[in-house]
Amino acid sequence: MKRNRWLIALSAVGIHICIGSVYAWSVLTKPVMAAMGLSLGQTTWAFSIAILFLGLSAGFLGGFVERMGPSRSGLLSACFFALGMLGTGYAISVKSTALLYLFYGFIGGIGLGTGYITPVSTLVKWFPRHRGFATGMAIMGFGFAALIAGPVMQHLTAAYGLVNNFLIMGCTYFVIMCASASYLRPPRKGELEQSLEDVLKEEASRGNKRTMLGPQMTRREALHTWKFYALWWIFFTNITCGIGLLAVASPMAQEVIGMTPAQAASLVGIIGVVNGGGRIVWSTVSDWIGRGVTYLVFFALEVAAFYALSITTEGLIFQALVLLIISCYGGGFSCMPAFLSDIFGVRQLASIHGSILTAWGIAGVAGPVILAVMKENTGGYTAILQLFAGLLALAFLVSAVIQISNMQMKKKYTLQEETQTE
């Protein structure tokens, strides 16, 4: 059966909106603490473990997902994620912290990782001329998910209880993810006017967007290049700094600019909108100016914003800086798959993207831990914000080296092609 590429995109969004509900964990933090008698730190570890295994499963199962194809890997993700939600409900009912970590963290985390990378390479092939926009659509769903899941889970918990909330959401997610996965597949010959390979060659001949015209690399080949590790580092840095800020946005707003808890909660809601919106906006921009330049813009803005944030006490400026940082944080996620396709091709994009996502898993733990330790030792946020500015300045330099190398490689391959033509 012929597929509609916009329904393919909608299916990708469907999967990401379901798994992106992990960002709404904070809504359930206090109910879980009350139901199980846990501390804040113990409860937060469930979220941290989930993010850790998101990154690890994406990294180590990327090749497996590539071989299975998007439909079957999406179904696998649905099974793991739904089981994680249902098991979490059981863990709460028996008040078992170990089972909470097992189901929500480990099993749910595997569902997160496999589901996150499943649609990426498929969407890139369906939207060859707008690869950034395509991946941004799916990953936008992950960013926006908390806006939907948060109020829904809050209502279900109040109306039916915490355990039933997880049971209802687990079953709902399973149905939506299975329906979405069943529609996913790569384009067949004749379904698109131009294949991705033809578009890449055309772009290379014009000297734009595609950074190099070389062989389509496997995951193993990509792992033997210095660029892979450079990209891993800048991805890790962006997430560490961004997720660190996300973890303390509410209390920092209350302490630094005197927001009330209600006002801080509103700011967190706006952050969710900007996080999701930044993903689609920045990824679309990257289709016009190129991924390398986009990351240079990210880091230049974030360096300035983090430093300014460390010294400001003015309310509007504080909020504007936080939202600017979060938009770049979200954009860093959505632009990375297209950036990887620019450099390494799409032969094993899902697998390569999965390996990069290990940075997310580690950063999801590193960011909040670094911030908590420095906050405890310094008594404020100034030092940690300036440290983040310094780390992002280093990431800017690494991105500049990548961009220079990409430009040189593009000239090399263009010259080779011209020579072969003659």
Q: What percent of the chain has pLDDT over 70?
A: 91
For residue 334, the model assigns a pLDDT of: 85
How distant, in Å, are the alpha carbons of 227, 353, 402, 404, 411 from that of 211?
A: 12, 17, 10, 10, 9
Helix orientation angle between 291-311 and 261-289, rounded to the nearest 10 degrees: 150
Q: What percent of the chain has pLDDT over 90?
A: 38
pLDDT surpassing 80 at residue 51: yes
Q: How confident is the model at residue 68 (pLDDT cuts 50, 70, 90)?
A: confident
CA 111 to the chain's CA centroid? 14
C-beta of residue 78 within 8 angstroms of C-beta of residue 178: yes
Q: Which residues contact 205 (CB under 8 A, 6 or more apart)?
A: 414, 417
* Residues 30, 254, 369: CA angle, nearest 5 degrees: 60
Whether the per-residue pLDDT at 302 is higher than 60: the answer is yes
* pLDDT tens digit sequence for 135-173: 777 777 777 777 788 788 888 998 999 999 999 999 999
68-93 burial, b for 16+ CB within 10 Å, e for fewer?
A: bbbbebbbbbbbbbbbbbbbbbebbb
**What integer pLDDT is reported at residue 255 of this predicted model?**
85
- Domains of the chain, earliest start first: 5-183 (1.20.1250.20), 196-421 (1.20.1250.20)
Contact between 249 and 322 (Cβ < 8 Å): yes
Q: Which is nearest to 403 in space by CA: 300, 258, 292?
A: 292
pLDDT band (50, 70, 90) for residue 422 = very low
pLDDT in tens, 177-203: 999 999 998 888 777 766 666 776 666
The Cα 57–Cα 202 span in angstroms is 35
